[in-house]
Amino acid sequence: MLEYTASADFTIDNATDADLVAITDIYNEAIAERMSSADIGARTLEQRRAWVDSHEPRADYPVVVVRTADGATAAFGSLSRFHERAGFDGVVELSYYVGSAWRGQGIGTVLVDWLVDAARARGHRMAVTRIFDDNAGSTALMERFGFTRFGLLSDAVHMPGGIHHDLAYWYLPL
């Protein structure tokens, strides 16, 4: 099993079935906050299991969790196939979600660092991501890691309660 020690406080492990509840909870929290997911309704455990299982082959498209020193799952992230057409092979989509209780502690930085390194180690040639343009924390992370914003889809996301977001597109040559 892959294990990455980012610091004395956090480790990164391959996600297993035992992590599905935490992955689902963290993702559903992001949905409820309306700042990092365009889903508008909570996802079920089985829907998240299908999402994890879609990352095949797992050696190329990992799903990982960040654990705290006491074993709590604080975040998860993944590298996903960008597009099924073969000409896009080597381009991966990077995604990550940090539980609200653990934000501001460097976990997002540790996780993005791991995902970028993992994409390089697997021979991918480019990482891309999509972020709500008003998500200051994720925007700062992309800038910190040298991603370039290459597009903005204005008024792309409409959510209940009249919440609208522009969607920024970012890429990093690997």
Work out the mean pLDDT of the chain and round it to a whole number: 94
DSSP result, 31-48: HHHTSS----SPPPHHHH
Q: Write down the residue that tokens 């829907």 correspond to.
A: 47
d(CA 119, CA 111): 12
Please give the model's pTM, rounded to 2 decimal places.
Answer: 0.93
d(CA 171, CA 92): 10
Q: Is 88 within 8 Å of 45 (Cβ atoms)? A: no
Tens of pLDDT, residues 108-149:
999 999 999 999 999 999 999 999 999 999 999 999 999 999
CA distances, 52 to each of 17, 134, 144 (Å): 9, 27, 27
CATH for the 3-173 domain, from 3.40.50.20, 3.90.76.10, 3.40.630.30, 3.40.50.300: 3.40.630.30
Read off the pLDDT band of 6 (50, 70, 90). Answer: low
pLDDT tens across 46-95, in order? 999 999 999 999 999 999 999 999 999 999 999 999 999 999 999 999 99
Residue 49, SS3 per DSSP: helix
